Amino acid sequence: MGSRQNYSRRIQNDKNTFIKNELFRLKKNNLYRRIKIFDIEKDSTLKYKDINVYNFSSNDYLGLSKSQKAGNLNKIIQRHISQCSSRLISGSSSKIKSLEINLSKHRNTQSSLTFANGYMANLGVLSALGGKDTIIFSDELNHASIIDGCRLSSSQVNIFPHNAFSDLEKLVRESCVKKKNNYNRGNF
């Protein structure tokens, strides 16, 4: 039991090191992006840190979000749901932020990130955590969004039969041996 605990702790530490290194790399190369909060004002300007700014980065090219024809629905959408932009550009509001803070409290996590649907969550998480040096072990019946996320991440994907944990264990062991061999070859 003791060694299993040590093993989980080591995996956890390795995982944190990899994430810290990746964050360091992104920051060093000016690629680290933070979500900024913009709230839509009644006059359609955006409020950013108490400053009102014009929104030149929305995707509302045809102005449909302000169309009178959509009537009350538009008022609801514009004020409460859509900023007509990606969250990383000008599409994140204080309402989404407070939803995420409440979710973190509810799930007892450091922070949380909401996605529009499960498909996008799997694509986002797998492509952020995966990469050429990553091996993902995936159940053959995993949801299509996990399969697409694995592909998008450019990771090596090892598929095991549905719920066959002994096959999974074998695959993991084989991958560890292969990795070790590669490492040795590289050293010699």
Ligand X SMILES: Cc1ncc(COP(=O)(O)O)c(C=O)c1O
Q: Where on the chain is the footprint of ligand X (CB under 6 A)?
A: 117-119, 122, 143, 145
Residue placing its CB nearer to ligand X in the complex, 48 or 119: 119
Residue placing its CB nearer to ligand X in the complex, 32 or 115: 115
Q: To the nearest 5 percent, what fractions of the chain are helix, strand and coil?
A: 55, 10, 35
Q: How far is the CB of 101 from ligand X (least distance, A)?
A: 22
Please give the Cα distance from 39 to 41 (Å, whole number): 6
Q: How far is the CB of 66 from ligand X (least distance, A)?
A: 29
Residue whose beta carbon is closest to ligand X: 118
Helices 144-152, 118-129: crossing angle, 10 deg rounding: 30
Q: How far is the CB of 3 from ligand X (least distance, A)?
A: 32
Residue placing its CB nearer to ligand X in the complex, 78 or 122: 122
Please give the Cα distance from 39 to 50 (Å, whole number): 10
Q: How far is the CB of 128 from ligand X (least distance, A)?
A: 16
Please give the Cα distance from 139 to 168 (Å, whole number): 9
Q: How far is the CB of 21 from ligand X (least distance, A)?
A: 28
The alpha-helical segments, DSSP class H, found in the chain are 2-28, 71-76, 94-107, 118-129, 144-152, 165-187
> Which residues, 6 or more positions from 97, have their beta carbon under 8 angstroms from its beta carbon?
37
